[in-house]
Amino acid sequence: MPKTDIKNRDDILRLVTQFYTKVRADDVLGSFFNKRIKDWDTHLDQMTTFWESSLFLKTKYYGDPVAAHVKLDAEYNNGITELHFGLWLNLWFQTIDELFEGDYARNAKRRARKMGSFLYLSIFEARC
């Protein structure tokens, strides 16, 4: 089946769902997510809205990813490292490459790379 670009919310939901299936099964990342997230349907909907907002600039995301990640890091005794963000990013890229190709797919990778760097730096700053 030929791949197409990310075109709409349904495509983003498919991406987000398959990505988090991998995250939940990951030996390193799974414990963070599986212990923290109790309502996966709501989380997947929120992440779909986040990425829809980021990629298509059509919707508004009202969450605070920095605060959520800083809080999680504190709960894990400042245990979130660049390894975690690297694994997360690799799974995101892998999932995109399995499902899509095109400008929006490349942009989803670029934005994830920037977001991961920003979140990690924000976590590090909050430790001081």
Alpha helices (H) along the chain: 9-25, 29-36, 40-56, 65-75, 82-99, 103-127
Strand partners, 100: 4
Could you give all domains of the chain from N- to C-terminal order, each with its CATH number?
Answer: 9-127 (1.10.490.10)
Helix H, strand E, coil C: the string for 57-81 is: CCCCCCCCHHHHHHHHHHHCCCCCC
Task: Please state the pTM of the whole predicted model.
Answer: 0.92
Give the tens place of pLDDT for each residue, 17-59.
Answer: 999 999 999 999 998 899 889 999 999 999 999 999 999 987 7
Closest C-alpha to 12, from 50, 40, 64: 50
